A and B are shown apart, each in its own frame.
Chain A
Amino acid sequence: DVKVTQSSRYLVKRTGEKVFLECVQDMDHENMFWYRQDPGLGLRLIYFSYDVKMKEKGDIPEGYSVSREKKERFSLILESASTNQTSMYLCASTLDRHASTGELFFGEGSRLTVL
């Protein structure tokens, strides 16, 4: 089974702090994604990456950056956390952009609270 592991399930940070959310997948997937999940808004794409050192903005990239130094690891960075970034963050991966399956595999999520 594909396993997508997010390092922190729950985090509490203060406004202005730098926050790192880590995600690792163990199935040699090329594509990785960061979404945020908010009630009534569903999942919104922040950033994605289809190769090492490659990144693309999603629908709501403002206030976030990402890093993909190794194929299996995709990090989401909040340079200066703000209260409106309190949310559940979901990491996902899929085999490659041209794969016929297109199924995303998700981690369990990181719930971030910014005070």
Chain B
Amino acid sequence: AQSVSQHNHHVILSEAASLELGCNYSYGGTVNLFWYVQYPGQHLQLLLKYFSGDPLVKGIKGFEAEFIKSKFSFNLRKPSVQWSDTAEYFCAVRGSYNQGGKLIFGQGTELSVKP
């Protein structure tokens, strides 16, 4: 069965610090990978996604993620965080041909950025 593991439950950073959130998945076939963000009181929204091609993908608000197939990883990065990045971040995986297009989500990482 597919699964997703996010290494950090809660990360606390100061503004301008660099961010890396870990994500590992287990799935034997071709995958689509996603990072979603949930700002306080808001709905989940897509940060970035990977389907194929360049393993380094860029998303909104300066975020990027790198797909490393050999490590089954899709870590999220941002060179310099802002207070407004305070949110919960979810990694998700989808087998390319799985039924219904369902996503399997990780446990989430809560990011707190101190001004």
- Please pick, from A42, A56, A102, A106, the residue contacting B99 in the complex, using a CB distance under 8 A: A56
- Taking a contact as CB atoms closer than 8 A, the residue among B44, B97, B101, B102 that contacts A90 in the complex is B44
- B46 and A103 form a contact (CB under 8 A): yes
Q: Are A56 and B32 in contact, CB atoms less than 8 angstroms apart?
A: no
Contact B107–A97 (Cβ < 8 Å): no
List 20 contacting pairs A-B, 8 Å CB cutoff, sorted by A: A40-B9, A42-B4, A42-B105, A43-B92, A49-B100, A50-B101, A92-B44, A97-B98, A97-B99, A97-B100, A98-B97, A98-B101, A101-B49, A102-B32, A103-B34, A103-B46, A104-B46, A106-B36, A106-B45, A109-B43
A-side residues, CB < 8 A to B, are 4, 31, 33, 35, 40-45, 48-50, 56, 58, 90, 92, 94, 96-104, 106-109
Given contacts A42-B107, A102-B94, A103-B34, contact A58 B102 (CB under 8 A): yes
Of residues 82 to 113 in B, which have CB atoms within 8 Å of A's CB atoms?
Answer: 90, 92, 94, 97-108
Q: How long is the Cα–Cα vector from A48 to B103 in the complex, in angstroms?
A: 11
B60 CB, min distance to chain A CBs, angstroms = 13
Closest chain A residue to B33 by CB distance?
A102
Contact B99 A43 (CB under 8 A): no
B44 touches A94 (CB 8 A): no
| Docked-complex contact B101 and A97, CB < 8 angstroms | yes
On chain B, the residues within 8 Å of A100 by CB distance are: 51
Question: Which B residues touch A33, using CB under 8 A?
Answer: 100, 102
Q: Mark B34-49, 1 if CB is under 8 A from A, else 0.
A: 1010000011111001
CB contacts (< 8 Å) of B49 on chain A: these are 101-103
- Nearest A residue to B100, CB-CB: A50
Kindly provide the distance from the CB of B98 to the nearest chain A CB, expressed in whole angstroms. Answer: 8
By a CB distance below 8 angstroms, the chain A residues around B94 are: 102
What 5 pairs between A and B have smallest CB-CB spacing? A43-B105, A42-B107, A106-B44, A50-B100, A97-B101
Known: A90-B44, A102-B32, A107-B43. A43 touches B90 (CB 8 A): yes
